[in-house]
Amino acid sequence: MRNLLRTDFRRLLKSRSFLVALVGVTSIVYLCMFFSSGTDGEASGVSLCNTLCSLSVLMTPLFVSGAYMLFVSAEFTGGAIRNKLIVGHRRANVFLSWNLVGLANGLIVSAASLGSAALLIGLFGDTTGLVAKNVIAASVIIVCMLISKLCMSVLISVIIPGAKGMLFNYLLTYALLMFFVIMYDSAPDSKIVNALSRCFPEGQVTSLNVSTMPDRPWLTVVCALAFSVLCVVFGVYVFKRKDLS
């Protein structure tokens, strides 16, 4: 398992999809700072953080998960999976390696984007009104949402490899976003909708901000991580039965 993780992680760091995701997500932070700056060149920290929250729980997971799907799908199209199985790696270990490397991918991208945001706001933004515990809670939720999206993208890549899987991922994201927007408008106090929104990044877009402390952030983290574990468990089951011929 250690050799498998080392090989996959090394391949991730060399892959163009990872570099594109890393540069793209970090660039979004700089663009947000640029367009949020006033005539004096100073941006409102609260406004900028809320904008970044919305992007980080929707565009960032979508962008990063799409890039990571290319990484996973390449093993199907290039025949690397069969080579791994031939040398003795178990299917469960191969799938777990994808998810663990995806976890590392998410943490690296999150550190780059959140670190860039903190640096820019500290240097050029107006930090008046920012509450540290609110920002930390929102940041933890953003990271967990990205992890859950990556785990779901690995599952989709196994079920539908290649470009079709990426298209399905984008359509599913759009469908979930529309579902939660409609549900929030029609039933804002629904306990079912609120519970589901804690598991999907698309459900956090309209509610996550740094102006106030997120509602029970610990529960959102637990639900997002539980959803990630569910995707991994179901993915192992599916991958063990997948025909690779």
pLDDT in tens, 55-72: 666 677 777 888 888 888
Structure token pair of residue 116: 């860039």
Average of per-residue pLDDT across 114-126: 73
Residue among 206, 79, 203, 217 nearest 135 (CA): 217
CA distance 184 to 90: 44
44 confidence band (pLDDT: 50, 70, 90) = low
Question: What pLDDT score was predicted for residue 235?
Answer: 92
pLDDT at 8 > cutoff 70: yes
| More confident position, 94 or 133 | 94
Among 5-9, 59-63, 100-104, 186-190, name the one with the lowest average pLDDT.
Answer: 186-190
Mean pLDDT of the chain: 80
Instruction: Look at residue 43 and give its three-state secondary structure.
Output: strand
- State the CB neighbour count (10 A cutoff) for residue 176: 18
What length does the chain have?
245
Structure token pair of residue 79: 């025949």
59-78 vs 163-186: helix axis angle to the nearest 10?
A: 150
Task: Give, as one character, the DSSP assignment of residue 241.
Answer: T
**Which range, 94-103, 138-147, 191-200, is most confident?**
94-103
Q: What is the pLDDT of residues 137-195, one digit of tens each?
A: 888 888 888 888 889 999 998 888 888 888 898 888 888 888 887 877 777 677 777 77
54 confidence band (pLDDT: 50, 70, 90) = low
Question: What pLDDT score was predicted for residue 39?
Answer: 43
Question: What pLDDT score was predicted for residue 213?
Answer: 67
Structure token pair of residue 15: 């892959």
CA distance 240 to 73: 16
**Are the CB atoms for 12 and 106 separated by under 8 Å?**
no
pLDDT at 99 > cutoff 90: yes
Question: What pLDDT score was predicted for residue 234?
Answer: 94
